[in-house]
């Protein structure tokens, strides 16, 4: 691969830590530059500004949805994950979404119990399912391979500068 494509990984963090780690490792191994909150350092700047700058430098965004909606941005009232998705779409950054199958079967520790967050997650999932192609996933073992395959196809179908 002559170009280095930057791929932003968007998801909730604590519940999808292992999935994020697997995806980032697979991307590095295959010549991509994964970008995500794990790589952010302490800063005096506002969190959203750091996220926007990182997204602006990326060629593609991978969105991983599980059983949690995520941390709510106090300014907008939506999760940072949804805000990242919205921003990428506004900026024309191709978003490749992966939605967890059978969310109701997840352990309680990986599901939002707050009704407002549950509804917001359901609404986001519906918006994605009815707005674009997505892939389902059930375990972290195959998710990283699915992500790599989807990015490889996206590079052919929706070329970016790299």
Q: What is the pLDDT of residues 90-147, one digit of tens each?
A: 999 999 999 999 998 899 989 999 999 999 999 999 999 998 999 999 988 789 999 9
Angle at 36 between CA 26 and CA 10, to 5 degrees: 90
Flag whether pLDDT at 2 surpasses 80: no
**Contact present, 121 and 81 (Cβ < 8 Å):** no
Flag whether pLDDT at 154 surpasses 80: yes
Confidence of residue 12 (pLDDT cuts 50, 70, 90): very high
pLDDT, position 1? 54
**CA pair distance 123, 119, nearest whole angstrom:** 6
pLDDT, position 40? 65
Half-sphere exposure at residue 58, Cβ-oriented, CA atoms within 13 angstroms: 30
Single out the residue of 87, 77, 74 nearest to residue 116, CA to CA: 77
The average confidence (pLDDT) of the chain is: 92
Residue 39 burial (10 A CB sphere; 0-12, 13-18, 19+): exposed
**Mean per-residue pLDDT, 64-74:** 95
Confidence of residue 41 (pLDDT cuts 50, 70, 90): low
Flag whether pLDDT at 39 surpasses 90: no
**CA pair distance 103, 157, nearest whole angstrom:** 30
Element housing 52 (H / E): helix 47-56
Flag whether pLDDT at 44 surpasses 80: no
Single out the residue of 131, 60, 146, 58 nearest to residue 100, CA to CA: 146
Tokens of 158: 């929706």
């Amino acid at each position: 691969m002559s170009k280095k494509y930057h791929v932003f990984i968007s998801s909730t963090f604590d519940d999808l830590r292992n999935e994020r780690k697997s995806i980032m490792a697979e991307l590095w191994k295959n010549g991509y530059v994964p970008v995500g909150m794990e790589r952010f350092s302490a800063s005096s700047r506002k969190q959203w500004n750091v996220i926007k700058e990182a997204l602006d430098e990326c060629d593609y965004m991978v969105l991983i949805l599980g059983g949690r909606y995520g941390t709510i941005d106090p300014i907008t009232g939506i999760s940072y994950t949804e805000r990242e998705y919205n921003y990428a779409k506004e900026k024309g950054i191709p978003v490749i979404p992966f939605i967890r199958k059978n969310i109701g079967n997840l352990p309680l520790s990986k599901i939002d119990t707050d009704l407002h967050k549950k509804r917001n997650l359901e609404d986001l999932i519906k918006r994605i399912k009815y707005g674009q192609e997505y892939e389902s996933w059930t375990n972290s073992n195959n998710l990283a391979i699915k992500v790599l395959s989807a990015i490889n196809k996206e590079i052919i179908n929706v070329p970016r500068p790299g």
